[in-house]
Amino acid sequence: MSKVRRRRGAPSLDDVAGNGLINRRALLGSGISFAGALGATGTMNGAAAEPLADAPWSLEFGQITPALQTPSPFEKDVTRALSNPNGEFRNSHARTPHQLLGGTVTPNALHFSINHCGIPNIDPAQHKLVIHGMVRQPLEFTLESLSRYPLVSRMAFVECAGNSAPMFSKVPLQTTVQMLHGLVSNSEWTGVPLSMLLDEAGIDPKGKWLIAEGADAQMLDRSVPVKKAYDDALIAIYQNGERLMPGNGYPMRLLLPGYQGNMNVKFIRRIKVVDQPAYSYFETKNYSQILPGGKTWRFHFVMEVKSFITHPSFGLSLKEPGLYAISGVAYSGTGRIAKVLVSADGGKSWGEAALQGPIHEKAFTRFVMPWRWDGQPATLLSRAIDDGGNVQPLRAEFVAQRGEAEKPVTTPLAFPNQHYNSTTSWAVDGKGEVKHVYA
C-alpha cells in the first residue's frame, strides 16, 4: 500500500492509531525521511541529483543591510486578516495567520489585535498609569519609572473570548485557521509584576477588585480580582524583546495570563482598587457567553484548554502520499499542556503527539505527530489535555453543553457566541485537498 521507505537502522514506524498515525518516537530518530521519503524528483538523495547550479542571487552583491529589517518580499502574503479593511468608523481586528507560522512565538507584526476604538497614538513621555482607590498611598507611574523596576519575562498567550466564534456555526465554514482561530497569539512579555506596584500602594484588605482602564477614547474598563493580580499579572512594557506594538497596548498594558483577552487592558492608564466589580459593558454585555436556555455566567474569565492543527489545514493541500508531520498549537488558561492526542480517522482512534518543550504554563505548546498518508481520505483532529486534567471537549460534548448558533453564520467575522474551545477537524480527500468538517 504505502511506498514509504524506511532506511536501514532508522527508528521503526509503528502505527499508534488508525489511518497511518505513527508512534511519536519516530521523531527522535534521524533516519526517517519526510519530503524525500518517496525518492521523488527534486530531492538530493537520488543518484540523479543535479550538480548544484549557481542561482542569480549567488552571482551578484546583495542588498545593503537595513537598520530595521522586514520579511523577505517572497513572504508578502504572510499578513494579518483584517475585519475592517476600509477603515470604517467602528472596531477593527487583525487575525494571526497560524497556518503560515512555525514554533510558538507570534512575531510582533503578526500578533492579533482588537481595537474597539482605534489605536491611540500615545506619547510615552506624556502617558501615566495611576493606582488609586482603596490604597494607603496613591501612585503614579511613567514608562520611564516602570523601566527602573526589576522586570520579569514570561511566555503567555492572549486570546479574545470571541476567538473561534465561527465554530458555533451549525455547518463548518470553509476557511483558514487564521479566520477561525486567528484571535489568539503567543509572546514573551516583559514587565513589572502588578503585585509589586500594589504592595507599594498598600491595598486595603477590603479591596477585592481592581478596575483597570485604558487610555484609548472608549476608556475600556474591566474588573479584575485582586487575587489574579497577585497570582501572575504584569504591567507589560516589552513584547518579544521590543517595546509593545501600538496595536498591542503601547506603551504599557495589563497582562493577565490565561484570562479573556479583553481583560488584558491595553494603553493602561488607571487601576482603581475597589470592593466590588464594576459590571462594565465588556464584562456584562459583550464577551459574555450565552448558554443554552439563554442564561449566562456572571463572569467567565479563564480561557479553557484548546488546540488546533495548523499543518496541514484548510488552504494547505498535500502534494503526494508519504510521510507528514501533523503539527499545531495547544494552550490552556489554567496551566501547562500535559498531552495532545491526534486522530487521523475522525476521532475513532487516537495517538499521543510529541510536545516541543519547554512547556510553559498559559502559553502555546507546539505538538507534532508523524503521519503516513496513503492517499486515501482521512480526517485529522487534535485534542489537548492540561496538567489540571482539563480535557478539550469533542464537538458533540461542547455543543450539548454550550450550544450552537441558531441563525446561519455566513462570515467568519461574525461572533455568534464566546469561549469556543472544542476540537477542529480537517478532512483530507484523495487529492490531498483539505476541507473543514465537524467530526
Nearer to ligand MTE, 112 or 371 (CB): 112
Binding string, 138-177, against ligand MTE, x = CB under 6 A? --------------------x-x-----------------
Query: Which residue minimizes CB distance to ligand MTE?
Result: 214
Q: How far is the CB of 67 from ligand MTE (least distance, A)?
A: 26
163 near Mo ion, rule: CB under 5 A: no
Amino acid at 66: P
Chain centroid to Cα 123, Å, comes to 29
Residue in 99, 262, 365, 422 binding ligand MTE, rule: CB under 6 A: 262
160 near Mo ion, rule: CB under 5 A: yes
Taking the CA atoms of residue 84, residue 88, residue 92 and residue 96 in that order, the dihedral angle to the nearest 10 degrees is 20
- The CA-atom distances, in angstroms, between 9 and each of 6, 12, 34, 44, 140 are 8, 9, 16, 20, 65
Residue 116 interface partner, choices Mo ion, ligand MTE, none, CB cut-off 5-8 Å depending on type: ligand MTE
Taking the C-alpha atoms of residue 105 and residue 117, their distance in angstroms, rounded to an integer, is 27
Contact 223, 251 (CB under 8 A): no
Contact 333, 392 (CB under 8 A): no
Q: How far is the CB of 51 from Mo ion (least distance, A)?
A: 55
Nearer to ligand MTE, 236 or 385 (CB): 236
Residue 174's CB: how many other CB atoms inside 10 A?
13
Residue in 80, 95, 98, 111 binding ligand MTE, rule: CB under 6 A: 111
Which region, judged by CB under 6 A, interacts with ligand MTE, from 134-142, 258-266, 370-378, 403-411?
Answer: 258-266
Taking the C-alpha atoms of residue 136 and residue 230, their distance in angstroms, rounded to an integer, is 17
Burial degree of 12 (CB within 10 A; 0-12, 13-18, 19+):
exposed
Contacts with Mo ion: how many residues (CB under 5 A)?
Answer: 4
283 near ligand MTE, rule: CB under 6 A: no
* CA atoms lying within 13 Å on the CB side of residue 93: 20
Chain centroid to Cα 149, Å, comes to 29
114 near ligand MTE, rule: CB under 6 A: yes
Taking the C-alpha atoms of residue 236 and residue 117, their distance in angstroms, rounded to an integer, is 21
Nearer to ligand MTE, 250 or 367 (CB): 250
Contact 289, 163 (CB under 8 A): no
261 near Mo ion, rule: CB under 5 A: yes
Rg of the chain over Cα atoms, rounded to whole angstroms, equals 24
265 near ligand MTE, rule: CB under 6 A: yes
Amino acid at 106: T
Binding string, 102-131, against Mo ion, x = CB under 5 A? ------------x-----------------
Residue 269 interface partner, choices ligand MTE, Mo ion, none, CB cut-off 5-8 Å depending on type: none
Residue 264 interface partner, choices Mo ion, ligand MTE, none, CB cut-off 5-8 Å depending on type: ligand MTE
Residue in 99, 169, 190, 248 binding ligand MTE, rule: CB under 6 A: 248
Peptide bond into 358 cis (omega under 30): yes
146 near Mo ion, rule: CB under 5 A: no
236 near ligand MTE, rule: CB under 6 A: no
Nearer to Mo ion, 289 or 349 (CB): 289
Nearer to ligand MTE, 120 or 347 (CB): 120
Sign of the CA dihedral 360, 366, 370, 376? positive
Residue 158 interface partner, choices ligand MTE, Mo ion, none, CB cut-off 5-8 Å depending on type: ligand MTE
User: Kind of pairing, strands 425-428 and 434-437?
Assistant: antiparallel
Q: How far is the CB of 135 from ligand MTE (least distance, A)?
A: 22
Q: Distance from first CA to last CA of the chain, Å, rounded?
A: 26
* DSSP codes joined into one string, 339-381: EEEEESBTTSS-EEPEE-S---TTS-EEEEEEEEE-SS-EEEE
187 near ligand MTE, rule: CB under 6 A: no
E strand or H helix at 311, and its extent? strand 306-311
Q: How far is the CB of 90 from ligand MTE (least distance, A)?
A: 12
Residue in 250, 267, 301, 373 binding ligand MTE, rule: CB under 6 A: 267
Q: At 110, is the secondary structure helix, strand, or coil?
A: helix
Q: How far is the CB of 215 from Mo ion (least distance, A)?
A: 18
Nearer to ligand MTE, 133 or 162 (CB): 162
Nearer to ligand MTE, 267 or 426 (CB): 267
Residue 20 interface partner, choices ligand MTE, Mo ion, none, CB cut-off 5-8 Å depending on type: none
Taking the CA atoms of residue 425, residue 427, residue 428 and residue 433 in that order, the dihedral angle to the nearest 10 degrees is -100
- Closest listed residue to residue 373, CA positions, set 413, 428, 297, 334: 428
Interface residues toward ligand MTE, by CB under 6 A: 111-117, 158, 160, 214, 216, 220, 247-249, 261-262, 264-267
Interface residues toward Mo ion, by CB under 5 A: 114, 160, 261-262
